[in-house]
């Protein structure tokens, strides 16, 4: 059985959704950031990075959302969430998810986790990063809106592991200060994703 370590309102939701949608036999463990459980000795044995998500498999432990999404897709090929037989199509999936991971998510993290880049007591620098978030996150989503979201799903007609990942990061748009009116196609994608049964179930568990 697969075991997902997660925290509500984090990128772990993407993997949670995919596990639900492929019909995986899995369990979950909630990590409490408020008590810094992610830094506990017990959890550091699971993920020495002290972050979520982490996915325990029969072969070992995986971290990093793009890798976890691909692993689940490969474990359940019948779901057709990342078809391997078309190398270019699969590379496009990887390209999109890499952009979310390396650019959009990092820009978002500047709002709450500036201490990763500057000293925690450097209030001026942290405030400067926070002021930049609406612009940097907004620019990332505008790129997706304009160049990358093919519609109706990220890759076009085929629903893939890109869609839960985009949906997860799009949950934070308003708190990041991004005007939804700037990205209507992304917002429509978010709405349609929210109506999927697997998405509803994953969110319900994480917010319970």
pLDDT tens digits for range 3-34: 999 999 999 999 999 999 999 999 999 999 99
pLDDT in tens, 161-173: 999 999 999 999 9
What pairs with residue 27 in β-bridges?
3
pLDDT in tens, 81-94: 999 999 999 999 99
Q: Are 154 and 163 in contact (CB under 8 A)?
A: yes
pLDDT at 111: 85
What lies within 8 Å, CB to CB, of 136 at 6+ separation is 107, 110
Confidence of residue 183 (pLDDT cuts 50, 70, 90): very high
How many whole angstroms separate alpha carbon 8 and alpha carbon 93? 25
Q: Are 153 and 162 in contact (CB under 8 A)?
A: yes
Residue 149 has pLDDT above 90, yes or no: yes
CATH 1.20.1050.10 is held by the domain 87-196: yes
Q: Are 16 and 4 in contact (CB under 8 A)?
A: yes
CATH 1.20.1050.10 domain extents, the chain: 87-196
CATH 3.40.30.10 is held by the domain 2-80+201-207: yes
Q: Are 11 and 106 in contact (CB under 8 A)?
A: no
How many whole angstroms separate alpha carbon 15 and alpha carbon 202? 9
Report in angstroms the alpha-carbon separations of 129 from 42, 95, 133, 182, 192: 32, 26, 7, 21, 32
Residue 30, φ and ψ in degrees, nearest 5: -85, 130
Mean pLDDT within 185-189: 98
Identify the DSSP state of 28: E
CATH 3.40.30.10 domain extents, the chain: 2-80+201-207
Report the greatest alpha carbon distance in the chain. 51
Report in angstroms the alpha-carbon separations of 167 from 73, 110, 181: 17, 19, 16
Report cis status (omega within 30 of 0) of the bond before 53.
yes
């Amino acid at each position: 059985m697969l075991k997902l370590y997660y925290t509500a309102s984090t990128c772990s939701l993407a993997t949670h959704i995919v596990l639900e949608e492929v019909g995986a036999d899995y369990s979950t463990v909630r990590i409490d950031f408020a008590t810094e459980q992610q830094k506990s000795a017990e959890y550091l044995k699971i993920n020495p990075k002290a972050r979520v998500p982490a996915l325990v498999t029969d072969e070992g432990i995986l971290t990093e959302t793009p890798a976890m999404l691909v692993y689940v897709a490969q474990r359940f090929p019948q779901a057709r969430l990342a078809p391997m037989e078309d190398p270019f199509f699969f590379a496009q999936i990887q390209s999109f998810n890499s952009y979310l991971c390396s650019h959009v998510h990092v820009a978002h993290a500047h709002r709450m986790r500036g201490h990763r880049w500057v000293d925690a007591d450097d209030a001026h620098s942290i405030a400067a990063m926070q002021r930049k978030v609406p612009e940097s996150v907004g620019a990332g989503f505008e790129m997706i809106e304009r160049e990358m979201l093919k519609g109706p799903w990220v890759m076009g007609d085929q629903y893939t592991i890109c869609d839960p990942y985009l949906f997860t990061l799009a949950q934070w748009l308003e708190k990041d200060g991004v005007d939804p009116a700037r990205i209507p196609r992304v917002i429509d994608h978010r709405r349609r994703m929210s109506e999927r049964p697997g998405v509803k179930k994953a969110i319900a568990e994480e917010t319970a």
